[in-house]
């Protein structure tokens, strides 16, 4: 009788395991796939390389966490600069990169205008 009970428990345990695996599989299939990021434009790809070289020391691109300067994730979507709440526009960002402000150095002398525009294109993707 005891062996019959053990066999029954084993069958129930196996059935429960199979049910759980099937349920997990079914739920995984129903879950929406995470959205894929749009491919970067050529300008944004160049800007990303410039960011890595010139900006990443002071700014995070993947978060809003501050390094030396503010994190830039969602920078354009926020719509305002953290320093003075002025409106984020291509012209304002270009001016900030060119002339610097506060602890941020000016890049007008070290980045040509086309590279600054590539950098702006990348910042818009964050």
- Model confidence pLDDT, tens digit, residues 96-108: 999 999 899 999 9
Per-residue pLDDT for 7 more than 90?
Answer: no
Same domain (yes/no): 1, 48:
no
28 and 56 housed in the same domain: no
Count of structural domains within the chain? 2
pLDDT higher for 30 or 44?
Answer: 44
pLDDT at 29: 58
Residue 76 tokens, joined: 């354009």
Residues 39-95 pLDDT 10s: 889 999 999 999 999 999 999 999 999 999 999 999 899 888 877 888 999 999 999
Tell whether 67 and 108 lie within a shared domain.
yes
73 torsion bin: left (phi>0), alpha (psi -120 to 50), beta (else): beta
Indicate whether 110 and 62 sit together in one domain.
yes
Phi, psi of 77 (to 5 degrees): -70, -30
- CA 103/CA 120 separation, integer angstroms: 19
How far apart CA 122 and CA 53 sit, in angstroms, is 13
User: CA-CA distance, 65 to 62, in Å (whole number)?
Assistant: 9
Given a contact cutoff of 8 angstroms between Cβ atoms, the answer to whether 11 and 3 are in contact is: no
Is the confidence at residue 23, as pLDDT, over 80? Answer: no
What pLDDT band is residue 10 in, cutting at 50, 70 and 90? Answer: very low
Residue predicted with more confidence, 106 or 25: 106
Q: Mark whether 118 and 76 lie in a shared domain.
A: yes
Residue 9: which domain range?
1-34
Question: Six-digit token pair at 67?
Answer: 């390094």
Query: Is-contact 40 48, C-beta < 8 A?
Result: yes
Same domain, 53 and 111: yes
Residues 117, 71, single domain; the answer is: yes
User: How far from 63 is each of 82, 87, 93, 114, 120, CA to CA, in Å?
Assistant: 14, 20, 19, 26, 17
* Mean per-residue pLDDT, 28-38: 61
């Amino acid at each position: 009788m005891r062996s019959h009970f053990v066999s029954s428990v084993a069958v129930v345990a196996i059935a429960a395991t199979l049910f759980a695996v099937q349920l997990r599989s079914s739920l995984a299939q129903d879950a929406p796939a995470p959205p894929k990021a749009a491919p970067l434009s050529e300008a944004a790809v160049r800007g990303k390389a410039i960011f890595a070289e010139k900006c990443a020391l002071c700014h995070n691109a993947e978060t809003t966490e501050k390094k030396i300067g503010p994190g830039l994730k969602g920078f354009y979507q926020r719509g305002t600069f953290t320093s003075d709440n002025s409106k984020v526009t291509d012209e304002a960002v270009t001016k900030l990169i060119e002339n610097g402000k506060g602890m941020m150095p000016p890049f007008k002398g070290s980045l040509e205008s086309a590279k600054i525009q590539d950098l702006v294109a990348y910042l818009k993707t964050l």
